[in-house]
Structure 1
Amino acid sequence: MTGKLTYIDALALKPHPEGGWYRQTAHSDEQFFDNTSQDARYHYTSIYFLLDSTNPSHFHQLNHDELWFYHDGAAITIHCIAPDGNYSHVTVGPDVLNDERLQFTVPRGTLFAAEVTTPNAFCLVSCVVAPGFDFRDFTMPAKADLLREYPGLDEVVGRLAD
C-alpha cells in the first residue's frame, strides 16, 4: 500500500481549510450562471482529497451535491446532518461485502464531516461537486454554534467541528 506522504508528494496535495490535503484535478471547460450561487460556476469540479486518522474533515456545508469516490487506504466515515436535523453516517471504503460503499453522494445543504477511524491510517478519495465547487459556496460553522443547534450530537460535533 502506498503511504500518506507518498500520495501527498506525488499528487502535489496541499492543506485544505476543512482539514486534510487536496488538489483540484479537473473542472468543466465551460461555466454557466447558477441560480443557487447567483454567479458563474463550472458544471463540475473534481479534487483528490486525503485524510488521515489525525486530520479529519471538519463539519461544513456546500450549496451543491458532492460525490465521494474511494481510491486507497482505510475506510472513511462521512457524518451527515440533513437540513431537517436528522443525523446519519456512511462508510466509504473497499469492503463492499461489509456495508462499505465505493462512492457516496452528500446532498446539497447537508452539514457533513469525515474521518478515518483506523489508527495510523489514511484514506484517499476523489470528490466531485456539481455545479462546481467555489469557496463562496462553502460554510464551516463554529463548534459552539453546532453544539447549540444539535445538542443530541455533542460527541460527533465535539470531535469533528472546528
Structure 2
Amino acid sequence: MNTKEDYINKLGLEPHAEGGWFKDISHSPDKYFAPESDGERYRYTSIIFLLDSSSPSHLHKLNHDEIWFYHDGQPVIIHCISESGKYWTVKLGKDIKNGEVLQYSVPQNTIFGAEIAGSGFGVVSCVVAPGFDYHDFILFTRSELLEQYPQLSAVITKMTVAEK
C-alpha cells in the first residue's frame, strides 16, 4: 500500500496555494482565446492532487469547470457554495453502494474546497477546461466569505485559513 510520502516523493508533488500537494501532469498541445478569461488558455489542464487531514483544499473559485477523479486513499469530500449561497457536498470515493462517486464536475464560478473524510490522505486528479491559469483562480479569505454567506459560518471557518 502506498503512503502519503510515497505519492509526494515518487510523483514529485509540491505544495499548492490552496492547500494539499500537486503536480501538473498534462495539458492540450494548443491554446485558444477563452472569452470568459479574456486570454489564451490551454484547452484543458490536468493535475494529480493529494490532500490530508492537515492540508485541505481551501475554499476558492475558478471561472471554468473542474472535473475531479478519485484514485486512492480516503474518500474526499468536496464542499460547494453556489453564487446564490446554496451549499452542498459530494463525496468522491469507491464505495458507490453508499453514495460515493468516482468523479464529479464542479461547475464554473462555484466556490469550493475539499477535505478527506477521516484521517490519512486521498489522491485525486483534477482536469480544468479551458485549462487552469492563476488569473482565473480566486482563493478566498475567511472574512470575505463570512460577510457574504454568514449562514455557512461552520463550513467557511473549517475550510479557510484564519487571517492574521
TM-score bracket for the superposition, by shorter chain length: over 0.9
Equivalents in 2 of 1:125, 1:34: separation in Å? 26
Equivalents in 2 of 1:66, 1:114: separation in Å? 13
Equivalents in 1 of 2:129, 2:151: separation in Å? 31
Equivalents in 1 of 2:11, 2:134: separation in Å? 21
2:39 counterpart of 1:11: no
Tell me the number of residue pairs that the alignment of Structure 1 and Structure 2 aligns. 161
| Residue 41 (structure 1) shift | 0.2
Equivalents in 2 of 1:79, 1:134: separation in Å? 22
Unmatched tracts of structure 1, length 5 or more: none
Equivalents in 1 of 2:16, 2:22: separation in Å? 6
- List per-residue Cα deviations over 1:64-119 (Å, max 9, x = no partner): 00000000000010000011210000100111111000000000000001001312
Tell me the TM-score normalised to structure 1 length.
0.98
* Equivalent residue letter for 1:124: V
2:142 counterpart of 1:143: yes
Structure 1 vs Structure 2 CA RMSD: 0.6
- Give the share of equivalent positions with the same residue, in percent: 50
Counting only pairs closer than 5 Å after superposition, residues 13-162 of structure 1 correspond to structure 2 as: 13-119=13-119, 121-162=120-161
Tell me the TM-score normalised to structure 2 length.
0.97
Unmatched tracts of structure 2, length 5 or more: none
Equivalents in 1 of 2:94, 2:109: separation in Å? 27
| Residue 8 (structure 1) shift | 0.3
Q: Secondary structure at the match of 1:109?
A: coil
Equivalents in 1 of 2:56, 2:156: separation in Å? 12
| Residue 161 (structure 1) shift | 1.2
Q: Secondary structure at the match of 1:68?
A: strand
* Equivalent residue letter for 2:7: Y
Question: Which segments of structure 1 move beyond 6 Å, counting only runs of 4 or more?
Answer: none
